[in-house]
Amino acid sequence: MATPHPHLAVHGDDPIARVALNRRTVLLRSAALLAAGAAALPSNAASFPSRPLKLVVPFPPGSGTDAGARLIAQALSALTGVPVIVDNKAGGNGVIAVQHVLGAPADGHTILIGSNTTLSANAATYRKPPYDPLADFAPISLLLSAPVLIAAPAESPYRSFGALVEAARARPGALNYGTGSVSYTLYGEWLCQLAGVRATPIAFKGSGDVVPAVIAGTVDFAVLDASTTVELVRTGRLRGLLLGAAERFPQLADVPSATDAGVPAFDAFTWVAAAVSARTPTPVVQALEAVFAKVGADADLRRAYAGQITTVRMTDAQEMRRFQVTEIARWKALVAKVGLALQ
């Protein structure tokens, strides 16, 4: 069985594929940085944290970002000795959560557990972005990544991605699909473009709201985070049609990869990262970076993810910033490619 997230071959002069290859390289380099987690906290931040930490999640409970935040909160609390609260601030493609973090005291105790939407895609999808994910936030660490899953209801007449494509071609625009954020919508539109079909996106508040809709057959298919839907596919409550990766994953061996499904360019995965207000003092940012590096090396956390389609990343702040820049370029290329109307 192939290993998760292999390098992609870049065919032709495809700017999206080139950016995808660059971001894959950044992700694969991150493992070498875990050794830095053993470093002690900076002496001038020795009193940090001085009260409970708050992890602000831009999506409702049940999303991949939320699930990751809750496991990380447990490890953070054990390491720091203070309570760690997960605070879900859903809505507005993550802007509500962002505004909450930026409006809180910039002392490192309020941390954004952001995603590809809040920390990269929003910069490409707003005509006048309400914030700048690079200028307004200090990066801490890239945390997790997982491929997207294209799924249909268990009783769907579309038993394969090929069958779905055939039906969509027969009735352009008639089929619909659920998405939990603008990132999922972009991935969905890109996939439709690669397959030569049109389908209608239906926006939900978060992935946790999309899953019940696709199980109930409210939507024809959905673009989901594979890490939170593995058991639903295994138990037959969802039908997995396609994973947004070059090769299959052992956890869902029966679900075709993008290559198997005939859309090899569809390199689509979500990611989760930690960041704080850019106004946060540098010693506190360094303290958080050291703590999160230790979280990445936590054996219990890694055991919790061992059976999931999730890769624990844990980069340093500089590596996360380089990754963000690459991702923003990727989303801008996608927006231009699919012709998405800016918000």
DSSP, res 257:
B
CA dist 42 and 106 (Å) reads 18
Q: What is the pLDDT of residues 107-130, one digit of tens each?
A: 999 999 999 999 999 999 998 989
pLDDT surpasses 90 at 212 = yes
Report which of residues 16 and 330 the model is more confident about.
330
Dump pLDDT digits (tens) for 23-36: 444 444 433 333 33
Q: How far apart are the first and last CA of the chain?
A: 41
How many Å apart are CA 201 and CA 184, to the nearest integer?
Answer: 9
Tell me what pLDDT residue 12 has.
39
Overall size of the chain counted in residues: 343
Which of residues 2 and 14 earns the better pLDDT score?
14
* Whether 236 contacts 92, CB under 8 Å: no
Q: Give φ, ψ of 314 to 5 degrees.
A: 60, 80
Task: Look up residue 185 and give its amino acid.
Answer: T
Share of residues in the chain with pLDDT > 70 (%): 86
Burial string for 34-47 (b: 16+ CB within 10 Å, else e) reads bebbeeebbeebee
Q: What per-residue confidence (pLDDT) applies to 38?
A: 33
Q: For 56-108, what is each residue's pLDDT tens digit?
A: 999 888 777 888 899 899 999 999 999 999 999 988 888 999 999 999 999 99
**If 0-12 CB within 10 Å is exposed, 13-18 middle and 19+ buried, where does residue 91 land?**
middle
pLDDT reading at 41 higher than 70: no
Q: Does domain 147-252 have CATH number 3.40.190.10?
A: yes
For 268-327, the pLDDT digits (tens) are 999 999 999 999 999 999 999 999 999 888 877 787 777 778 888 889 999 999 999 999
pLDDT given for residue 194 in this prediction: 94
Question: Taking all residues of the chain, what is their mean pLDDT, rounded to a whole number?
Answer: 85
Fold: same for 15-146+270-338 and 147-252 = yes
Domain ranges of the chain: 15-146+270-338, 147-252
Contacts of 308 (CB under 8 A, 6+ apart): 146, 227, 230, 251
Work out whether the CA dihedral 10, 308, 138, 79 comes out positive or negative. negative
The number of CA neighbours under 13 Å toward the Cβ of 138 is 19
Q: Architecture of 15-146+270-338 per CATH?
A: 3-Layer(aba) Sandwich (3.40)
- Give the tens place of pLDDT for each residue, 44-69: 456 789 999 999 999 888 777 888 89
What is the distance between the alpha carbons of residues 103 and 288, in angstroms, rounded to a whole number?
Answer: 19
Sequence-distant (≥ 6) Cβ neighbours of residue 130 within 8 angstroms: 95, 98, 99, 122
Q: Which band of pLDDT confidence, cut at 50, 70 and 90, is reported for residue 37?
A: very low
pLDDT at res. 26: 41
The alpha carbon of 264 is separated from its chain's Cα centroid by a whole number of angstroms, namely 20
- Full-model pTM: 0.79
